[in-house]
A = this chain, B = another copy of it.
């Protein structure tokens, strides 16, 4: 599994969310040897649930794990503080990010705390979020806690 192969899984999740009328952010958790442990996407719209970001969904779908230190969290977008906090608390070893042009969360903070952070600058991810934010600014602001 290359980083781009892993991102493909997260990107497919984001597209699935978009097709269902949701916020197009996808994520996946992999083991060190590239086994997919769980994948998921943002569920705010679909489940009316503000607590399920893409990374949370992937983390949940990976089930209860005893050790995350060698796992890799792949996400189409720079993880917000909520999702960065998840990575830090559970000592997820690496974060692979599709893009951080449309939003920057806590990935620099994670790198400072020893997480192996890579930003792929994937153009499809940038285009997907740019178009989504332009068409749905209120929904986007709701998802990242920006009031008004």
* In the complex, A132 has a CB within 8 A of chain B: no
Which residues in window 74-88 of A have CB below 8 A to B?
A: 80-86, 88
* In the complex, A5 has a CB within 8 A of chain B: no
The distance from the CB of A78 to the nearest CB of chain B, in whole angstroms, is 12
Per assembly, the copies of the chain total 2
The verdict on A50 contacting B67 (CB below 8 Å), with A83-B85, A91-B145, A106-B85 known, is no
Least CB separation from A69: chain B residue: B147
Least CB separation from A51: chain B residue: B60
The distance from the CB of A66 to the nearest CB of chain B, in whole angstroms, is 6
Is the beta-carbon distance between B50 and A59 smaller than 8 angstroms? Answer: yes
The distance from the CB of A137 to the nearest CB of chain B, in whole angstroms, is 13
Cα A48 to Cα B61 in complex, Å, equals 10
Most-contacted residue by chain B among A49, A60, A106, A145 (CB, 10 A): A145
Is the beta-carbon distance between A91 and B147 smaller than 8 angstroms? Answer: yes
